[in-house]
């Protein structure tokens, strides 16, 4: 089977687009790491998953474009696509994700410190007062039943 220059160029461009998409897929995991603060073990398994997924997609690209034979220009195209993603859009998306994370964290801290904590203190104050009143009422009832001429516990005897 003869491989023409046009089909090689088409395969190379397809590999570049695939590499670009793989870079975007990996950036989803990078953004998740920024937002969740994953540990080293979680990052390791995420990287293994991404590596396996990228290998599977590369295999499918080789199978689709070149009938399964591995050509260097296809691997180079995927590499170029990933590099283009990481050096352009990838940097911007991770920066934006970090900025949005900091803004959201500041908003939640403000809501916690200025809204939720005062409401918590007010509710605790009210509940503390209600608890005191219940304890005082229980003591009063205890004294009342102790002073009765016919206490309830002696009725059955």
86-137 pLDDT, tens per residue? 999 988 998 898 899 899 889 988 888 888 888 888 888 888 888 988 888 8
Where do runs of H (alpha helix) occur along the chain? 5-36, 40-66, 72-85, 91-111, 117-147
Task: Name the burial class of residue 77, with classes exposed (0-12), middle (13-18) and buried (19+) by CB atoms within 10 angstroms of its CB.
Answer: buried
Question: For the whole model, what pTM was predicted?
Answer: 0.64
86 in any annotated domain: yes
115 in any annotated domain: no
Give the number of domains in the chain: 1
144 in any annotated domain: no
124 in any annotated domain: no
Average pLDDT over residues 57-68: 88
Q: So what's the pLDDT on residue 57?
A: 93
* Full domain range(s) for residue 36: 5-109
Task: Please tell me the distance from the alpha carbon of residue 70 to that of residue 59, in angstroms, as a whole number.
Answer: 9
35 in any annotated domain: yes
21 in any annotated domain: yes
Task: Please tell me the distance from the alpha carbon of residue 147 to that of residue 157, in angstroms, as a whole number.
Answer: 18
Q: What is the mean pLDDT of the chain?
A: 87
Given a contact cutoff of 8 angstroms between Cβ atoms, the answer to whether 27 and 50 are in contact is no
Q: So what's the pLDDT on residue 153?
A: 59
Q: So what's the pLDDT on residue 80?
A: 95
Given a contact cutoff of 8 angstroms between Cβ atoms, the answer to whether 61 and 78 are in contact is yes
Using alpha carbons only, what angle is made at residue 110 by residues 107 and 115, rounded to the nearest 5 degrees? 120
């Amino acid at each position: 089977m003869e491989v023409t220059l046009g089909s090689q160029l088409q395969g190379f461009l397809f590999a570049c687009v695939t590499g670009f998409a793989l870079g975007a897929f990996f950036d989803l995991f990078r953004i998740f790491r920024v937002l969740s603060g994953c540990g080293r073990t979680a990052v390791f398994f995420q990287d293994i998953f991404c590596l396996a997924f990228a290998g599977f997609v590369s295999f499918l690209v080789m199978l689709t474009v070149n009938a399964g034979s591995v050509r260097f220009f296809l691997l180079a195209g995927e590499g170029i696509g990933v590099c283009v993603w990481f050096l352009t859009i990838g940097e911007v998306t991770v920066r934006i994700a970090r900025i949005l994370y900091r803004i959201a964290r500041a908003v939640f801290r403000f809501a916690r410190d200025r809204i939720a904590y005062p409401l918590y203190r007010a509710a605790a104050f009210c509940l503390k007062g209600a608890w005191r009143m219940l304890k005082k009422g229980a003591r009063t009832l205890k004294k009342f039943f102790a002073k009765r001429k016919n206490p309830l516990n002696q009725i059955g005897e």
